[in-house]
Structure 1
Amino acid sequence: MEKKKSSSKSPKLRAIDSTKDTDNTELGTKERYGCFNIHPDWLQVFNNRKWLAFLIGVCQLLFSTVTSGYESSIVSTLQRGFGLSSTDIGGISVCFSVAQSTLGVILSHKAANSHKGRWVGITAIIAAIGCFIYALPHFVTKSYGILSSYQNGNQSYGICSSTSKPSPLTDQEQASQKGLYIFLFCLGQFVIGAGTSILRSIGWSYLDENVSPSVSALYTGINLSLLGLGIALGFVFGGTALDLYVYWPAEVSDPSLTIDNPNWIGAWWLGYIVIAAIIILMAFPILALPRHLPNYEYYKMKRAQQAEGKSKIDRYKSKTLKDLIPSLKDLLLNMPFMCTVLNLVGNLIVLAGVGVFFPKYIESQYGVLASSASMYTGIMIVVGMLVGIVLGGGYMKYKKLKVLGLAKFAAISTTLSTVTVAAFLIAICPRTLIAGVNIPYHNFTSEIAVSQTHNLSDNCNSGCYCDSETFKPVCDLSTGITYFSPCYAGCTSKGIDFNNGQQVFGNCSCLSTNTNAMRNHTQSLDVVLNYCPKECNALIPFIIMGIIFAFLVYCSLIPSYQVILRCVPESQRPLALAVQWVFIQCLANIPGPILLGTFIDGACSLWEVQNGERAFCWIYDNQLLAYGLAGVILAMRIFSAIFSILAWYFLKRDIKKYAGIEKENIKDDHEADEKEPENKIIKPSSSNQNMVETASKLNGFTETLV
C-alpha cells in the first residue's frame, strides 16, 4: 500500500514540481514562443523566465531613461530654446502623469486576464511614437530665439549702440510658436504616458507570476535597479547630447558660442529619436512571448502557500468591468496596502518634483554646465542605487525577511532618509552678483531682494539701445560683478584676448562709475564674456549627501514593492499595482512638478522676457531656492516615514488576526469530525478539504514573522 501511495502522483504533477522549465517541445501552441502561429522549435530556447526578465528589464530601463533621467537633464535647455518657465515645464510633465493615471487602471484591468506579453509589446510601440512626437518641435521651429545673435554673421550684437536693433520675430509670431511647441510637448508626453502606463502593473505582474516566489524579490530588485539605472543613464545620455550643438551634425558658426556660454543649446532632441528606435526593436521579441511560461501553475500554487494576512482571501476573479468596483473596494480597505502606497507617494512626490528640476538646481546652485549637472545627478543615482541594492538586498536575503520583516525594514530606511535633507541647508553657494538685478550699479555693498523690481538701465548706459530680451552676461574680473550684457555694461568695442582666446569687450562706461569699487586707475575698463567665477566647495559634500539619500531610498523601495505584491491576493496583483500607480500619479507625479515648478519660479532673480511676458529664469536666489526645497523634501520624508510605520503596524495586526481565524476554523472542523459516528464514511467537502490544506500551511506560521 505504501508503495502504491508513493507512486500515485500523476506524471503531470511530477513535471511541474520541478523548479526547472518544462520541456518546451511538449507545450501547447499557447505556451510556445513565437508570433502569428509560427512557433518553431529553435525559438523555444527563449521560452523561459530569464528571457522574460531580460525583456521586461530592458523595457523598464528604456522607459525610465527617457521619462525620468533624460527628460530632467534637458529642462534648462528646453526653457532657453523655447522660452518656457518652470511652471510650463511642470505642466508639460503632468500630461505624462494624466495619461498614466487615466489609462493605467482601465488598461491594467483589461489586460489582467488577457495576453499580458502582447499588451506590454503594443504599448511599448505607442511609447516610441510619443518619443518621436516629443522631438518634433526641433524640426518644426524656424529658429531658436536666443541663438539669433550668433547667426547670420552678426558679430557686433550686444555692443552699446546709438541705434536700436529689430527683433528677429514679432511678438505675435513668438506667442504663436510657443503655443505650438507646448502643444507638441504635451501631446508627446501624453502618448509616452499611455505607452508606459501598464509596464509596472501588467509587466511586473507578468514576470512575478512566471517565476518562483523564492526568487520574486530578486527580480523585483533587478527591475528597480534597472529603473534607477535607466534614470542615471538618462542623465548621462542627456549630458552627452547637450554637449552637441542643437543643429548637429552642423557646426557652430560663431566661435564665441561655446558650451560654457549661457546661450548654448545642445542637441536635446537626439536622445528621443535614438531611444524610440531601440524601444521599437525591443517590442517585437516581447510580442512573441506566450501567455504563460512553463511551470506557471506550479508557481501559482507555491504563491498561494506563502500567502499571509488578507492575501489568503482571494474572493474576486475580475473578468469584466462590472467586477472592478468590488475589487477596488477590497483594495482600498486593505490597510497595509494603502499605507504602503501612501509611503511610496511621499517618496515619489520628491522624486517627481525635485527629480524634474534636480539638474537645474545643481546648474544654478553650483554654477556648472547643464551637461555636467546631468552627469553629477547620474553619478549620485547610480552609486546610491548600486550600494542600496547590494547592501539592502543582501541584508534582506541574509535575514530571509518575510513580508512583516520587509515592511519593518522599509520603515527604518524611510525614517533614516530624513537626515539627508541637511544637504540642502549646508551645501549652499553664494549667488552670482549682477548689476541692476540683485545689487545696484553704484553700491556693491547693498542688495536688491527677489521681491523688488530690478532696473538694468542706469545713467552709465542711458545712451545705448540695449536689448533686455538677450542675456549675454559679461564679467568685470576686478570687482567680480556680472553685467546683463556688454551693452548694459556700456561697452563700445569688442575683441579677442590672444593669450587665452577669451572674448573681451572694452571701453565699458559703467565700470568707471563704480565709486565703491576698489579699482586701480591702471586697470582697463574691459569685461570678459560669461559669468564671473565664484569660489564654492560645496558641490562635493552635496554629491555625497545625495548618494546617501539615493541609497536609503532604494533600500526602502524594494521591500515596499514586495509588501504590495504580498499583502493582496494573486488575482488582484495587477489591479493593485495599477491602483498603486494611479495614486502615485495623482498624488505625486501630477502635483509634484507643478508645485515645485511654481516654487522655483518664485525664487527667480532674473527673468528672460519674451512678448512682454516672463519666459524662463536666468538667475535664481540660491539661498531661497535651497531653503525652500529643503522644507518641501523634509515634509515629504516625514509623511513617508509615518505611513511606512503604519503599514508595518497594520500588517502585523492582520497577520495575527487571520492566523487566529484560520486556527479557530480548523479547530471547529476537527471537533465536528470527532462527533461523527465512527462507522460512517464521510466524503470531505471542498471547504473541509481546504481547511485541511490550510492546517498544513499553518505549521510553523509564527516562525515566519520577523
Structure 2
Amino acid sequence: MSDDQKDGAEKSPFLQKNIGHLKCEKVKDSPLQDNEDSDNTECGFWIFKGQILQRAATEKMYALLYGFAGLVIAMAYSYSNGTITTLEKRYKIPTKTTGIISVGNDISLCLASPFLGYYMGRGHRPHWMAFGLFTLVVFCLLTASPHFLYGAGDEALKLTKDFGLTNYTDVFLNSTQDDRSLCNDNEPDCVAEVSVWMPIILLFVAQLISGIGCSLFYTLGLTYMDDNTAKSKSPALLSWTSFIRMLGPAIGYSLASFCLRLYIAPDLEPVIKNTDARWLGAWWLGWLILAGFMLISTILIYMFPKELPAARANRLQLEQVNAKAGHHSSVEELTLKNMVKCVKRLAVNKVYVYNTLASVLYFFGYMPYWIFTPKYIETQYKQSASTATMVTGSGALAFSAAGILLSGFVISKYKPSARTMAAWNGISDYLTVAGLLCYVFIGCDGSDNMASLSAASSNCTAACHCDFVQYSPICGQDNVTYISPCHAGCTGQYKDENDRMVFSGCGCIADSNSSKEPQTQIGIDGACPVDCSKQFIAFVAVMCFLKFVGSFGRAGNLLLALRCVSTEDKTFSLGFGNTLLSLVSFIPSPIFFGWLLDSFCLVWGKTCSNKGNCWLYDTKSLRYTLNLTSAGLIFVGAFWNIGVWYYAKDLQIFDEESRKEIQEEIDEFELKETKNDMNT
C-alpha cells in the first residue's frame, strides 16, 4: 500500500476497505480523462469487428464462452483419463509411467503459473487466454501423433481378418506345437517393441505444453470475470461457468467410450469383440475432434476486449469517487522484488494459507479417482473400457449438475457468510472420507478370486517359460480364468463341434482338482464369465453421492479463494496457489498412486526392454490399500478447514451489506467539500 493510500485509509478506513466493490450510480459525468485506448473495450479483431460483435461484450456472454472453453479443456483431460488403459496396452506402459506422463502438465503449470499470473495479469488477458488455448490445440495434435507415426501395432493387426485370419482360433491352428502360447520346453523370444520410449516422450511433451495453456486460461480467466462482474452476480456466474465446465468430463468420457468401441484401425475388421481384454480402441480419433473444438474456443475468447465496457464505466466512476475522497491509488511496478513482497503478503494471510493446506491434502488423496477411475472399474468389476469410461463421465452427471446449480442458487439467494462456506468445505471433506470407506467394502468375489491363480500357475508352469506369452485368457473346467494356455499348462489344442477352440492336457487346471488326470483337463478360449453387476451398481451409487457433495461446495470454495486476498494480489494468488498444489499434490500424487497400482500387479506383459503393462491385479489388496490411503489423507486435510472457518469471520464475500454505509460516507464527504467551497 502506498503512502497516499495509507493516509486515505486513516481518514476513512471503512471507505478505503470497500471502495473497490462499490458501483456508484449517483455520479453522472466524470471530469476525469481516460488515457486508455478505446480499442480496449472493443470486441473482435482485424476485419471482424462491428456493433453486432460489440453487443456480445457483456459479462454473461463472457461467462458463457469461458464456460464453453473450460468444457472443451475438461473434455480433453477426461478423454485422456478414459483412454489410459488402452495406451498402456498399445505401448506397454506401466501405470507408474502413465502417472509420470499425466503430471507433465502440472510440472509446466507449476513453473509457469506464478510468473504468468503476475506479469500477464495486467496485460490483455483475453488475448493471453487465447494463446493458452492455442497451445492446447497443439497438445491435442501432439498426443494423437504416436498413432500416425507408429500405426496400430502388430498385436492389434494380428487380431483382424484383413491380416489374413478368419477368426481368432486361427492364431492357434496355424501355429506349430512349439508355439509359445502353449506349454513347451523351449524358452520363447521376448516381445520386441520398436521405439518404445518415443511415444512416451511425445505424450509427456504434449502434457508439458498443455500445462502452460491451462495456467494462462484459468488464472487469467477467473480474475477477468471477477474484475468485470458485479460482486453480487459473481456466485451465480461462477456456478454457471462451473456447471458448463462440469459437462466436459461427461462429454469427454462419452467421446472416449465411443472411440474405444471402434477398433484402433477402423478400416480393418477385428476378430474379437470390444468386451475382450485384448481389444484396442481408436484412442487417437477423439484427439482430432478435440483439437477442432479447442481451435473454435481460441477464436471466440480472442475476440473479447481488454476490459468490458460496463466494467470500464464503473471503474471510471470509482476513480472519480476516490479522487473526490482524496484517495489516490498507485499501481505497483511489476518487478521480481515486488513479486516477493506479494508472496510475503500471502504467507501471512491465514485464510489463504489454511485453505491451501486443506486443498493440498484433499487433491493428493482424491487425485487417483480423477485419473484412474476407468482403470479401477475395469480391474475391480471386470467392465469393458468403453463401459468404464461411459459410466465415469455420464453416470454421475445429474448429481454433479444438481450440486453445481444448487450451490449457486443457495449462495446467490441466501448469501451465506464466509464462515458458513468454510464449515461446509470441512463437512464435505468428511463426507468424502465416508464415501471412500464405502469403496473398501464394495468388492467382487469373482474378480478377487483371480488373484489366487497367479501363484498356483506360476509354480505349475515354471518349465513352460510363459513370461513373454501374450495375454490370451482361457476358462478352465474349474471355472477359473487363466492368463493363457501356457499359464494353464496346456499342451494340445483342437476345435470342438461348436467351433470353439479347446485346449487339452492342461496340467495346472488339474492341480485345482486332483481327482482328474491332467490329460482330461481342458480349457475354453476366452475368460470365464464374472458377474459383478450388483457391486458395480453400488460403486456407481456411492460415486454419484461423492460427485454431488464435491460439486456443491465448488462455488463457495472458489469465492473464499478470490475474496481472501486483495484485488492487486488476486491473479498472482491463483497462480501461486496452482504452483503449490502442483508441487505438493498434482505432481507427486499420480506418480505415487501409479506406483501403488503397479505394486499389486500379478501378471506383466513383458517386453524385451521393460515389463510392459499389467494384465492382472490383486484386486482385493489394491482396493483396501488405495481407498484407505486416500481416505486418510483427506481426513487429515479436513482439519485445516477449522482454521479457515476461524479466521474467515471478518471476511466479506458480498458488498451489498456495506453499500449503503459506504454511500453515506461518500455523501457526508461531498457535503463537507461543498460547505468548504461555499465558505471559501
Question: Which range, TM-score by smaller chain?
Answer: 0.7 to 0.9
Q: Tell me the residue number matched to 2:454.
A: 438
Which letter does structure 2 place at the counterpart of 1:28? S
Offset, 1:392: 2.9
Q: Which residue of 1 aligns with 2:42?
A: 32
1:314 positional shift: 9.1
Q: Any conservation in 2 of the 1:211–1:299 contact (CA below 8 Å)? A: no
Q: Residue by residue, what CA displacement relative to the aligned partner does 1:555-610 show, whole Å, maximum 9, x if unpaired?
A: 23221111011111112111111112112211111011000000111111111111
- For residues 588-637 of structure 1, give each alpha carbon's deviation from its aligned partner in whole angstroms, at most 9, with x where no partner exists: 11011000000111111111111163211111111111111122221222
- The alignment of Structure 1 onto Structure 2 pairs a total of residues equal to 619
The verdict on how the C-alpha distance between 1:300 and 1:415 changes in structure 2, with shifts beyond 3 A counting, is farther
How much does 1:472 deviate? 0.3
CA separation in 2, counterparts of 1:182 and 1:78? 10
What is aligned with 1:90? Answer: 99
Which moves more between the two structures, 347-356 or 146-155? Answer: 146-155
Distance of 2:241 and 2:262 partners within structure 1: 31
- 5+ unaligned residues in a row in structure 1: which ranges? 1-7, 15-26, 305-311, 442-453, 656-675, 685-706
Which deviates the most, 79-88 or 149-158? 149-158
Gaps of 5+ in 2: 1-24, 32-36, 320-326, 653-671
Aligned to 2:639, the other structure's residue is in SS state: helix
What are the equivalent positions in structure 2 for 1:609-628 lying under 5 Å apart? Answer: 609-611=606-608, 613-628=610-625
> Is the 8 Å Cα contact of residues 432 and 482 (structure 1) preserved in structure 2?
no
CA distance in 2, matches of 1:627, 1:92: 25
TM-superposed CA distance for 1:373, in Å, is 0.8
Contact 1:495 1:504 in 2 (8 A): yes
Of 43-52 and 506-515, deviating more is 506-515
Deviations 1:489-539 (A, max 9, x none): 3153343774xx8x4324343377346267799998341313442456211
Q: Note closer, same or farther for the CA distance 1:46–1:619 as it changes in structure 2 (3 Å cut).
A: same
Cα distance in structure 2, aligned partners of 1:636 and 1:482: 36
Alignment of 1:275 with 2:290, yes or no, is yes
Tell whether 2:498 aligns with 1:484. no
- The amino acid of 2:57's aligned partner reads N
Q: 1:566 aligns with which of 557, 563, 585?
A: 563
Residues 142 and 231 from structure 1, CA distance in 2 versus in 1: closer, same or farther, beyond 3 angstroms?
closer
Give the structure 2 partner of residue 182 of structure 1. 200
**Whole-angstrom distance in 1 between the partners of 2:512 and 2:369:** 42
Deviation at 1:363, TM superposition (A): 0.6
> Residue 398 and residue 368 in structure 1: after superposition, are their counterparts in 2 closer, same or farther (change >3 A)?
same
Deviation at 1:228, TM superposition (A): 2.7
1:341 matched to which residue of 2? 356
8 Å contact from structure 2 (residues 603, 616) kept in 1: yes
Asked if 1:417 is matched to 2:432, the reply is yes
Output aligned runs, 1:282-431, within 5 Å.
282-297=297-312, 317-430=332-445, 431=447
1:56 is displaced (CA, Å) by: 0.8
CA distance in 2, matches of 1:654, 1:570: 14
Residues 207-238 of structure 1 show CA distances to partners (whole Å, capped at 9, x for unaligned) of 12111111101122223223332122222211
Asked if 2 retains the 8 angstrom alpha-carbon contact of 1:80 and 1:265, the reply is: yes
Q: Secondary structure at the match of 1:214?
A: coil
Report deviation, 1:73: 0.7
Post-superposition CA distance 1:427-447 (Å, at most 9, x none):
011235559843525xxxxxx
Is the Cα contact below 8 Å between 2:418 and 2:649 reproduced in 1? Answer: no
Spell out the pairing of 1:580-659 with structure 2 (5 A cutoff).
580-611=577-608, 613-652=610-649
Give, in angstroms, the shift of residue 303 of structure 1. Answer: 11
- What's 1:662 paired with? none
TM-score by length of 1: 0.79
CA distance in 1, matches of 2:509, 2:576: 65
Query: Contact (CA 8 Å) 1:316, 1:572: kept in 2 or not?
Result: no
Q: Distance in 1 between matches of 2:678 and 2:640?
A: 48
For 2:214 and 2:451, the matched residues in 1 are separated by 47
* C-alpha displacement of 1:315: 8.5
Question: Aligned pair in 2 of structure 1 residues 683, 216: CA closer, same or farther (>3 Å)?
Answer: farther
Deviates more, 1:466-475 or 1:204-213: 466-475
Partner of 1:157 in structure 2?
A: 171
Amino acid at match of 1:153: G
Over 3 Å counting, the alpha-carbon distance change for 1:272 and 1:535 in structure 2 is closer
Residue 210 and residue 241 in structure 1: after superposition, are their counterparts in 2 closer, same or farther (change >3 A)? same
Give the one of 443, 454, 461 matched to 1:457: 461
Q: What is the CA-CA distance between 1:348 and the residue it aligns to?
A: 2.1
> 2:502 maps to what in 1?
505
Supply the AA of the counterpart residue of 2:493. Answer: S
Please give the secondary structure, in 2, of the residue aligned with 1:46: coil
Amino acid at match of 2:352: F
Q: Distance in 1 between matches of 2:143 and 2:467?
A: 31
Structure 2 partner of 1:213: 231
Listed one character per residue, the Cα deviations across residues 631-673 of structure 1 (whole Å, up to 9, x for unaligned) are 2221222133112221111122677xxxxxxxxxxxxxxxxxx
The 2-side partners of 1:582 and 1:683 are apart by 57
Aligned pair 1:11/2:20, yes or no? Answer: no
Contact map agreement 1:117 1:291 (CA 8 A) in 2: yes
Q: Counterparts of 1:604 and 1:302 in 2: how far apart (Å)?
A: 65
The share of aligned pairs that are identical, in percent, is: 21
Contact 2:440 2:628 in 1 (8 A): no
State the AA in 2 paired with 1:30. N
User: How many angstroms apart in 1 are the aligned matches of 2:438 and 2:135?
Assistant: 40
Corresponding letter in the other structure for 1:483: Y
Equivalence for 2:323: none
The answer as to whether partners of 1:414 and 1:644 remain within 8 angstroms in 2 is no
Matched residue, 2:18: none
Q: Residues 194 and 683 (structure 1 numbering): CA distance in 2 closer, same or farther, change over 3 Å?
A: farther
Q: Give the conservation status (yes or no) of the 8 Å contact 2:507–2:519.
A: no
The aligned residue for residue 247 of structure 1 is: 265
Counterparts of 2:556 and 2:546, CA distance in 1: 17
Change in Cα spacing, 1:511 to 1:466, as seen in structure 2 (3 Å) is closer
Q: 1:150 is paired with a residue of what secondary structure?
A: coil
Following the alignment from structure 1 to structure 2, what is the Cα–Cα distance between the partners of residues 321 and 683? 49
- For the Cα contact (< 8 Å) 1:316–1:327, is it kept in 2? no
Q: Report the Cα distance in structure 1 between the residues aligned to 2:560 and 2:568, rounded to whole angstroms.
A: 16
1:600 & 1:284 partners in 2: Cα distance? 41
Q: How has the CA–CA distance of structure 1 residues 400 and 327 changed in structure 2, closer, same or farther, with 3 Å as cutoff? A: same
Cα contact 1:437–1:606 (8 A) shared by 2: no
Deviation at 1:458, TM superposition (A): 5.8
Change (3 A) 1:458 1:149: farther
Please identify, of 32-41 and 280-289, the stretch whose mean Cα deviation from structure 2 is larger: 32-41
Contact 2:180 2:486 in 1 (8 A): no
Please identify, of 528-537 and 29-38, the stretch whose mean Cα deviation from structure 2 is larger.
528-537
User: Which residue, out of 30, 52, 58, partners 2:62?
Assistant: 52
Residues 216-235 of structure 1: pairs in structure 2 closer than 5 A = 216-235=234-253
User: Which secondary structure does the structure 2 equivalent of 1:605 belong to?
Assistant: strand
Judged with a 3 Å threshold, the aligned counterparts in structure 2 of structure 1 residues 211 and 372 are, in CA distance, closer, same or farther, namely same
SS in 2 for 1:375: helix
Inter-CA distance 182–458: structure 2 relative to 1 (3 Å threshold): closer
Counterpart in 1 of 2:120? 111
Q: Sort the Cα spacing of 1:648 and 1:516 in 2 relative to 1 into closer, same or farther, 3 A.
A: same
Is the Cα contact below 8 Å between 2:192 and 2:607 reproduced in 1?
A: no
Provide the rounded CA distance (Å) in 1 between the counterparts of 2:626 and 2:301. 41
Residue 418 of structure 1: how far off its partner (Å): 1.9
Give the CA deviation at 1:317: 3.3
Alignment CA distance shift 1:535-1:33 (3 Å): closer
Structure 2 distance, partners of 1:313, 1:594, is 50
Looking at structure 2, the residues matched to 372 and 343 of structure 1 have their Cα atoms a distance apart, in angstroms, of 34
Aligned partners of 1:75, 1:206: CA distance in 2, in Å? Answer: 34
Identify if the C-alpha distance between structure 1 residues 171 and 140 changes in structure 2 by more than 3 Å, giving closer, same or farther.
Answer: farther
Match of 2:156 among 147, 150, 153: 147
Task: Choose which of 538, 546, 552 in structure 1 pairs with 2:543.
Answer: 546
